[in-house]
Structure 1
Amino acid sequence: MRTSDVIVIGGGLAGLMAAIAAAGQGKQVTLMTAGAGTLAIGGGTIDILGYLEDNTLVENPRAGLACLPADHPYSKVGSQAVEDAVQFFLNLCRQEGFAYTGSLDSNQWLPTAVGTLKPSCLVPLAMDTAPLKAAGHVVVVGFARLKDYFPELISAGLSKIPGYQKDYEQVVIDPGFVGGRDVTTLDITRWLDTPAGQQACYEQLGKFIRPGSVVVIPPVLGSRPDYDVRNKLEHALACKFVETVIMPTAITGLRLRAMLLNHARKLGVRIMEQAHAAWAVQDGTRVTAIVTSNVDRERAYHTQAVVLATGGFFGGGITADPDKVQEAVLQLPVAAPPDREGWGTLKLFSGAAQPFAKIGLRVDASLRPVDAQGRVLLNNVYIAGRNLAGYDYCLEKSGNGVALVTGYTAGLRC
């Protein structure tokens, strides 16, 4: 019989954190994932809370937690759970040799590919902006044929921001790729994974770098969850590198996913790739098995507890049909405005919260699903990540933060 103590459905940040937390408590964990999800192409930073619902800027995420409504996921689990999840994540990263920097006491402001600053809380060391703030001479690097990345735009934008008036210089590196298609950050990253690529980058950059300079570069300094490429180039050029935030696909998310998968495997988590969870076997208010459906047959996997982290609308975890909105695996009811005309505001970029973004599953303080009256629907099921109701991850800049905190909390409580 295929049996686990815990089945986690979903291989994004929330699912991986849940699996790691549960396995760390000695549980036998099976992680079912239908694909890599958005974690593999995302920015790889942990945005805890950048803005409140009224668009108020949050300088101190810890203080901002007290301003959130009662139905927000952070409010559901409590501030201590947020604190514990953040510390657990930072310790895990250090243990795996891919340290992150930051704390709940302040947000960091990261340079983007369009020359603006984005708030985030926990970031890889390669994105630490302390060297950029202290720099006098900044070299902004681009790559020949890299789409949607323009050093001139970044320099012009940053130079208008108070505290970032520097001596900017733009440099374009040519990796020597041949062929007609656009070059991606993954192409460049794989090039820099090689000694030949590192040598060519060093030779081209060395003509412009002064000792003590700061180099602003897209996230291309190696595909693995370590800092080997960055460290080698910094040592050779006597400078500091700062990777920017870019539109997907970003290698920072790929590195983070690889690190978490490596750690999960060390803990004995069984990872099932391309596992499509179709439905559940229930005994009253308990789920006793998850059934997967693939091209050959259906298979039942028995369990004592389930963490549902299937990614909301974008991950296919919540579906919207003409007559109903529901969760896709367990058929749980979804908290959604009945009038779909009210799901969105007329101005998409108005700075106001979007009602559709808050659609999700209601939960109690233990992250178990509840109905509109607060009654627990399934006693051994825990909800994590984007499936949760009550927050606008895009406006708040809280997506990976909620995934981290609720995934970790669900993994402990199951």
Structure 2
Amino acid sequence: MGQTARVSAFVWIAVGSLAAWLWLLLCQGFFWRTDIRLPARREPRAWPPVCVVVPARDEAAVLPDSLPTLLAQDYPGRAEVFLVDDGSSDGTGELARELAARYGGLPLTVGSPGEPPAGWTGKLWAVRHGIALARAREPEYLLLTDADIAHAPDSLRRLVAAAGTGGFDAVSLMARLRVESRWERLVVPAFVYFFAQLYPFRRIGKKGTRTAAAAGGCVLLRADTAERARIPDAIRHAVIDDVALARAVKGGGGHIWLGLADRVDSVRPYPRLHDLWRMVSRSAYAQLRHNPLLLAGTVAGLALVYLVPPVALAVGDPVAKAVGGLAWLVMTGTYLPMLRYYRQPLWLAPLLPFTAFLYLLMTLDSAVQHYRGRGAAWKGRTYTRPDAVPDEG
């Protein structure tokens, strides 16, 4: 009788996993589709002035592949670049000046804000300094882009045209991340897939919905919207600053859009599992608001959705095998479009449960590092949780 009860319980768990996948397939904003690209746009009669703000800390390794693409933007209006050297020790600022002298193009200003005060992340302190420098030029738009992001020559004009045509206060592109090493192929497409599952792009672009997110590597933001939303001051302590920025804009009634990029690419390599692990674990627990209950729920949810199907197929009774196999099939099918977008072999799709297990371990490690006082550590800085710093009002 006990054995029967245990088998029945496992079948019900497998059924719960299948139900979760059917709900994700049909009711989570069709997150698995990859056709959300820059919306229809028309070029304006007069191109508005734009300032590009690039926070950079120890980015000399990637800057030669990214900064020249910004300087070479084919933008019909007035545009210039502000690179903010955030206390680099590798000559980032000097290299930026050398690249500007070598390649020419848009005017470049290199600034340095000094060490961030308590309550600020280094990146947002640098962004604040860059926006302050840009305001003297009275731009209509600000392009916030990371130092590892390479842009096609028409990237800026396409972003501005899309924002103006759609009436968007913020337009963000999820840059195509590098997928060259074995671990990048396994982990990176899943990273974007999981992000879209949490923040379905279709819902983000609709007015009246609460879903808000952006991709910090490429955000075109109206300058007056940034001022009204007090960006970046209002989000100065945010480790996941792109989502916080989007929430601040949308919470103030702004219209935002997020989609996948075609010709905006990250040039930062993550050749080893350790590199990818650190990228995810430094902010995973912050995403859960440092809440142990949310952590427990996330671990249980990941196990139910991603781990139960292969376990049921491997060790379950015939009913559990059938249900688990069907859930795994739905999971695999939803992952195929992301693999196609990243031009990766489709045989990687059935490996998604293994990748999800890695992300589960990364999330647990993020919590462990937080309670050891090493959470949210990045490039020599460790940030406390937001409620541990004084509010400047």
TM-score, normalized by length of structure 2? 0.31
Q: Which has the higher contact order (CA 8 A, sep 6+)?
A: 1
Q: Which has the higher strand share?
A: 1
